[in-house]
Amino acid sequence: MEAIGLLAGGVAHDLNNILSGVVSYPEVLLMQLSRDDKLYGPIKAIQESGERAAAVVTDLLTVARGVATVKEVYSPNTLIREYLESTELKKLQSLNPKVVIEAQLADDTWNIHCSAVHIQKIVMNLITNAVESIDQAGTVLISTWNQKISPFTAAASSLDVGEYVVVEIKDSGSGISKHDLKHIFEPFYTKKIMGRSGTGLGLAVVWNTIKDHNAAFIQVASDDNGSTFTLYFPPCREKLVEQNSNYDIEKLKGFGSVLVVDDEEQQCDIASKMLTLLGYNVATVTSGEEAVEYCKKVPVDLLLLDMLMDPRINGLETYQQIISFSPFQEAVIASGFSEDGSILDALKLGVGSFIKKPYGLEQLGVAVKKALNR
């Protein structure tokens, strides 16, 4: 696990910068093409391929327990419904037409404090495994409910006393053998055929995501009648995060000056083109030192900061130096990996938000507008 962590951490920053070109440049091009254009389909395919590659990097980082995630308040039912309506699930169902996927989501289910993308990844991995465990016809049931664990119940389980939001995925498949059950959460341990059905990272991602969400638990039961994965999350009574479901570029547009700070010239160019499309005045520099000197001479409304800029000062150090002479400086951090918690430190210092590379136009537009409107 340590070796995997070092490998993932060492390559993630460079890979995500490379993938930014594959994901973000096509989006900029697609904004300027009609759907009838003969190049629209191929460019869209390039973008989707980049997004799939970025998802593999995210899986490696999750397994390595070094992925940079920001947790917010979400309804688990909403996250589950979004996956149930996704193209990924439609494709899975088309390949397994005799498997019925059902949902029983309690209306009064509490909210949870979580990383939305990782919770949806859990749901996707568990449902995919459930469907593929069924040889012919069968059912997969995903359920949610609220549960209170009493001292008596806790004594008979690994759960602590308290309240939980429960997400359960149950299948009528062939089950998991006792031998395999001991190893299912290990990275790259799989009974699937490599190259045809997954990488063996799915359940490792599930395990590490659960461990990354404080006080969450997972229980597994399996026999010849199928398998049941039961997830327990502590409830959250805070206000739900606002959902931006409608992608309208006009609503994302803003005004003001933005300084992009990134040691990759291509990344500077991508961010510059996106921000210009959104109506901002953009300047770029390729080091933290240049950013500090620039801000001393030319005040800017917002900084878009890369976190890792070795061997020079990183995004956190750059921000610390700039707020020493401009204490109300707004900023957004952009990165694909956080090794030492510097992203959280930057957020505590006043950075408006964090976005993960490779990012899209909507993600960037929402983050910048949110930071400028605080």
- The predicted-structure confidence for 187-205, as pLDDT tens digits, reads as follows 666 655 544 455 556 787 7
Report whether 317 contacts 349 (CB < 8 A): no
Q: In sequence order, what DSSP letters do the residues of 258-310 get, joined into one string?
A: EEEE-S-HHHHHHHHHHHHHTT-EEEEESSHHHHHHHHHHS--SEEEEES--T
Angle, vertex CA 169, rays to CA 167 and CA 170, nearest 5: 140
Using pLDDT thresholds of 50, 70 and 90, give the confidence band for residue 128.
very high
- Is residue 183 pLDDT above 90, yes or no? no
Q: Which residue has the higher pLDDT, 137 or 52?
A: 137
Residue of 269, 299, 306, 296 lying closest to 284 (CA atoms): 269
Q: Verify that 117 and 145 share a domain, yes or no.
A: yes
CATH code where residue 177 lies: 3.30.565.10
> In this predicted structure, what is the pLDDT of residue 288?
94
- The mean predicted confidence, pLDDT, of the chain is 84
Show Cβ contacts of residue 58 under 8 Å, excluding neighbours closer than 6 positions: 67, 117, 121
Residue 344 pLDDT grade (very low, low, confident, very high; cuts 50, 70, 90): confident
Range of the domain at 15: 2-63
Averaged pLDDT, 274-302: 95
Per-residue model confidence as pLDDT tens digits over 222-266: 998 999 999 999 999 887 766 554 557 788 889 999 999 998 888
Please state the separation of Cα 364 from the chain's center in Å: 14
Are residue 179 and residue 218 in the same domain, yes or no?
yes
pLDDT for the residue numbered 194: 45
Q: Which of 248, 244, 251, 275 is nearest to 261 (CA)?
A: 275
Among residues 118, 293, 283, 325, the alpha carbon closest in space to that of 207 is found at: 118
46 shares its domain with 97: no
**252: part of which helix (H) or strand (E)?**
helix 249-252
pLDDT surpassing 80 at residue 164: yes
Tell me the C-alpha distance between 223 and 173, whole Å.
9
Both tokens assigned to 309: 């800029």
DSSP secondary structure string, 338-369?
A: -SSSHHHHHHHHT--EEEESS--HHHHHHHHH
Least reliable range by pLDDT among 10-24, 111-125, 205-219: 10-24
| 165 and 83 assigned to the same domain | yes
In this prediction, residue 346 carries a pLDDT of 85
Least confident range of 152-156, 167-171, 284-288, 305-309: 152-156
Domain assignment present for 244:
no
pLDDT at 14 over 90: no
One-letter amino acid identity for 236?
Answer: C
For residue 12, being part of any structural domain is answered with yes
Does residue 70 have a pLDDT over 50? yes
Q: How confident is the model at residue 153 (pLDDT cuts 50, 70, 90)?
A: confident
Structure tokens at 31: 């904004």
Whether residues 95 and 127 fall in one domain: yes
Please indicate, yes or no, whether residues 93 and 177 belong to a single structural domain of this protein.
yes
Q: How many domains does the chain have?
A: 3
- The answer to whether 34 and 16 are in contact (CB under 8 A) is no
Query: pLDDT tens, 47-57?
Result: 888 887 877 77
Contacts 24+ apart (CB under 8 A), 45-48: 46/22, 47/22, 47/23
Bigger pLDDT: 200 or 366?
366
Whether 39 and 185 map to the same domain: the answer is: no
Tell whether the model's pLDDT for residue 341 goes beyond 60: yes
Of the listed ranges 73-87, 94-108, 114-128, 330-344, the least confidently predicted one is: 330-344
pLDDT at 102 over 70: yes
Q: Helix 315-323 crosses helix 288-297 at what angle (to 10 degrees)?
A: 20
> CA-to-CA distance for 281 and 301, rounded, in angstroms?
10
- Looking at residue 337, its amino acid is F
- Looking at residues 56-69, what average pLDDT do you find? 63
pLDDT > 70 in the chain, percent: 85
Enumerate helices (H) and strands (E) in the chain, giving the number of each.
14, 13
Provide the CATH number for the domain around residue 297.
3.40.50.2300
What's the whole-model pTM score? 0.66
Return the higher-pLDDT residue of 76 and 237. 76
364 vs 361: CA distance, rounded Å: 5
